[in-house]
Amino acid sequence: MATKEKEQELIKRLQDAIINYKVAEAKKTAEEAVAAGADAYTVTMEGLAGGMEEVSRRFDCHEYFVPETLLCAKALYAALDVLKPHIKVSEHGVKGQVVLGVMQGDVHDLGKNLIKAIFEASGWTVHDLGRDVPLKSFVEEQLKTDSDIVMLSAMMTTSMVGIKKLIPMIKEKNPKVKIMIGGAPITEKTVEEYGADTTADNAPNALREAMKMLETLKRGKAA
């Protein structure tokens, strides 16, 4: 069992490796964390997700561009592959199923991939439809999997308009399903206008919002 100091040191090193897109260093540090007996979930959420939060900030501020961000994601996946088998899922709250994809006409899937990585690392079942996904595919996948949440990503205003059409299509088939939307052009006002349940500006926040929605759904079923 790693000491708190050791765990924090490993978390800081993982954050640095991801922010500076050092793939080999990220993998090596993750292996050290496992060997030291650090809690894999804490290391994943604080080290990997924490590192990507800073990457997202740099991307938003135009300090990083797509090539750097993709390299950071590569470092994240290298570490996640090592840590994921050691995460004790049952210890960290309720888990659900999500359908996830990027709207039709949009191929920007970095944010979607980060969300997938963090949700899977946290023990959720993720049905990833990929990018440039036809509207009906989201409806069909939700019905097929009976997923609790549908997560729609749009990075362009042109692909965002599909969300407005899609939400009623999903809700008509399953009024109880929760819908989270995200991406650069999405605001709280969009959530209200389009009839979604929530939005999140990064992967860790998306996970927090999803946990809240899942709790609400579970309470509804128990009532």
pLDDT digits (tens, 9 = 90+) for 31-65: 999 999 999 888 988 898 888 888 878 887 899 98
Q: Name the DSSP class of 130.
A: -
Q: Which CATH architecture has domain 4-90?
A: Orthogonal Bundle (1.10)
50 Cβ contact partners less than 8 Å away, ≥ 6 residues apart:
11, 15, 204
Return the half-sphere exposure (C-beta side, CA atoms, 13 A cut-off) of residue 126: 22
Rounded Cα–Cα distance for residues 52 and 160 (Å): 24
The fourth-level CATH superfamily of domain 94-222 is Cobalamin-binding domain (3.40.50.280)
pLDDT digits (tens, 9 = 90+) for 104-114: 999 888 788 87
Do 18 and 79 form a contact (C-beta atoms < 8 A)? yes
pLDDT digits (tens, 9 = 90+) for 147-172: 999 999 998 888 999 999 999 999 99
Handedness of CA 29, 33, 34, 40 (dihedral sign): negative
Domain boundaries defined on the chain: 4-90, 94-222
The stretches of 20-90 forming alpha helices (DSSP H) are: 23-36, 40-42, 50-60, 66-83
